[in-house]
Amino acid sequence: MSTNVIELNHVQKNFGRTQALKNVTFNVPTGEVVGFLGPNGAGKSTTIRILLGMLKRNGGEATVFGQDPWHNDLQIHPRIAYVPGDVYLWPNLTGGEIVDLLLRLNGQNHTAKTDELMKVFEFDPKKKARAYSKGNRQKVALIAALSQDAELYIFDEPTSGLDPLNELTFQQEVLKLKEAGKTVLLSSHILSEVEKMCDAIVIIREGEIIEQGNLDQMRHLSRLRVQVETDAAITGLDKQSGVYDLKFTNHDQTAATFAVDHDVLGQVMAALTPLGIKDFQSTPPTLEDLFLHYYSDKGATQHVAQ
Ligand SMILES: Nc1ncnc2c1ncn2[C@@H]1O[C@H](COP(=O)(O)OP(=O)(O)OP(=O)(O)O)[C@@H](O)[C@H]1O
Ligand SMILES: [Mg+2]
């Protein structure tokens, strides 16, 4: 069997004149949790719908478990648990009835795991679905998906309606899937969420994959944040290439913050050392910084990981 559960190669999708996907190429290896990041309208849900055989691509190759999802959706569906971005429920059924219905539609049963999930998500299964808030509607789909024994789990922005405690519960459940060797594709625009759970991330913008790699590979492309305090006034750093956003935080210019490219860090340290370093803190960039970097205007340049 292929080592990739999902393979996408130059996938394209048009809606009339809108080129929703221009070039989507990435793989999801077996047993990995992959974060699929991008802003609104980038093409995350469209890609996911192609993987589920709900949309027909206009070009490129797509396989799930080695099969074309458009032609073999009936074969691949029983192996997938999916939570859509917008959860629609039958208004006259209770949440509990819908969870069981969703499970049965996937050939699965209500198990002890289902009860456990209802407990950890503090979900009341007795209310009619029309009375549920957005978060509760999302919980119905999450509980049904997470209590399935699937090989591949696809979550499309699963925590957008959840409060922080439930978001944490969701993260813990994904980590359990990861420990059990399951494969997960998780779309999100929340980077901190992805950082905690994912082995690798793929960033999509305007229908194109602009970056992909594991977290370490992504981090080295961004800049370190530095906070420094010295005995003598700091001079010359403003002229050093690779140093950005230099700000002095006291009047005698012996305390500063700045961002620095990794490859000039040595030069910056060499310039600071003779000044007598009293304090030095550097923080690795979060994915938040990375994201801002890519989606700012100057972030339009392409980078290649590795
Ligand atoms: N059924 C459709 N008909 C026409 N255009 C569509 C359709 N579905 C998506 N699009 C367009 O395709 C592009 C990608 O949309 P998509 O829903 O995949 O983005 P997304 O990354 O999931 O965004 P979000 O974060 O808002 O969910 C957008 O420009 C959207 O307007
Ligand atoms: Mg979407």
Sheet with 152-156: list strands edge to edge: 59-64, 4-15, 18-29, 208-214, 200-205, 33-37, 183-188, 152-156, 80-83
**Centre of ligand 1 from the C-alpha of residue 46, in Å:** 6
Name all domains of the chain by residue range, CATH numbers in brackets. Answer: 4-214 (3.40.50.300), 224-284 (3.30.70)
Amino acid 289: pLDDT: 67
Scan for tokens 């990981």, then name that residue.
Answer: 305
Task: Tell whether ligand 1 has an atom less than 6 A from the beta carbon of residue 56.
Answer: no
Mutate to test the pocket of ligand 1, among 21, 22, 45 (most ligand atoms within 8 A of CB): 45
pLDDT in tens, 76-118: 999 999 999 888 899 999 999 999 999 998 889 999 999 999 9
In this predicted structure, what is the pLDDT of residue 287?
59
Is the CB of 45 within 6 Å of ligand 1?
yes
Q: Is the CB of 188 under 6 A from ligand 1?
A: no
Cα–Cα distance for residue pair 210/303, rounded to 1 Å: 7
Measured by CA distance, the residue closest to atom 24 of ligand 1 is 40
Atom of ligand 1 minimally distant from the CA of 39:
25
For CA atoms 62, 67, 73, 78, the dihedral sign is: negative
Q: How far is CA 251 from CA 209, 254, 277, in A?
A: 45, 8, 17
Kindly write down the DSSP assignment for every residue of 92-141, as one continuous string: TSBHHHHHHHHHHHTT----HHHHHHHHHTT--TTSBGGG--HHHHHHHH
pLDDT digits (tens, 9 = 90+) for 255-306: 999 989 888 999 999 999 999 999 999 987 665 666 666 655 444 444 433 3
Range from 132-146, 200-214, 282-296 carrying the lowest mean pLDDT: 282-296
For residue 49, give the ligand 1 atom closest to its CA.
18
Q: Which mutation among 11, 12, 14, 15 tests ligand 1's pocket best, with the greatest number of atoms within 8 A of CB?
A: 15
pLDDT of residue 52 exceeding 90: yes
158 lines ligand 1 (CB under 6 A): no
Residue 225 has pLDDT above 90, yes or no: no
**pLDDT above 80: residue 198:** yes
What integer is the mean pLDDT of 184-210?
A: 87
